[in-house]
């Protein structure tokens, strides 16, 4: 079994009443969204930002960088997907969820979030996780291994709330890929929100405000 991923943590060291596990994008690190935490007004929630493992990335000329899985073509294309890399990273995220339960936070108080490649992995993991999670937040991302969705979706997370945000001018992950991912997972039984912003492959102040309000609903006392 591989070692637990190294993480950056922000929030209460003990007695947290919830957790957000937030996955960064390609080539970034667990520090990428660290500065956003104070803007989200969740002082009793632990934010866990894991570092992706280092691996060669085909679209970047095989350079080794932090990546949840290899990417062989631009634009979030779904052909030639790195299934073994996706599933290996998914198991690593499962272990982080399990570590939070060992620290006293049950899955129903854990939100899984991610940006870009990290958002694609968060969507994959959360919708397949065996126990119900508090929510799923997908930022500027897309769906991976779409052909396995029907067979692998977890009954426990069929109704888990979904927040999907995307830039309408995103040149890296076209907004249509975000819309397709939303349509694949939004259904009448699942509380699902989709927000598009006039931005490229980034996060904007209006989006942060949307995230703040959405997380507040996930971590209501009770």
Alpha carbon distance 222, 220 (integer Å): 6
Alpha carbon distance 183, 198 (integer Å): 20
Catalytic positions, written as ranges: 116, 170, 201
Q: Is 70 left (phi over 0), alpha (psi -120 to 50) or beta?
A: beta
Locate tokens 């929510």: which residue? 135
Rounded to an integer, what is the distance from CA 56 to the centroid of its chain?
Answer: 21
Quick one: tokens of 24? 């960064």
User: DSSP for 1-57?
Assistant: -PPPPPEEEES-SS--SEEEEEE--TT--TTTTGGGGGGG--TTEEEEEEPPPEEEE
Alpha carbon distance 97, 33 (integer Å): 19
Cβ partners under 8 Å of residue 126, min gap 6: 112, 133, 136, 157, 160
């Amino acid at each position: 079994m591989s070692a637990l991923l190294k993480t950056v943590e922000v929030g209460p060291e003990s007695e947290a009443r919830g957790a957000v596990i937030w996955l960064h994008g390609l080539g970034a690190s667990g520090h990428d969204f660290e500065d956003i935490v104070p803007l989200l007004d969740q002082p009793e929630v632990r934010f866990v930002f894991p570092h992706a493992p280092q691996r060669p990335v085909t679209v970047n000329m095989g350079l080794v960088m932090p990546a949840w899985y290899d990417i062989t073509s631009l634009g979030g294309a779904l052909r030639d997907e790195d299934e073994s890399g996706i599933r290996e990273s998914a198991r690593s995220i499962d272990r982080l969820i399990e570590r939070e339960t060992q620290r006293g936070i049950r899955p129903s108080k854990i939100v899984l979030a991610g940006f870009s490649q990290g958002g694609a992995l968060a969507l994959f993991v959360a919708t397949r996780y065996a126990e119900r999670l508090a929510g799923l937040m997908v930022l500027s991302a897309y769906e991976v291994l779409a052909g396995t969705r029907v067979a692998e979706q977890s009954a426990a997370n069929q109704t888990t709330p979904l927040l999907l945000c995307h830039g309408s001018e995103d040149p890296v992950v076209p907004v249509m890929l975000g819309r397709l991912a939303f349509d694949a997972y939004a259904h009448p039984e699942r509380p699902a929100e989709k927000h598009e912003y006039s931005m490229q492959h980034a996060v904007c102040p209006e989006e942060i405000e949307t995230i703040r309000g959405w997380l507040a609903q996930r971590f209501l006392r009770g």
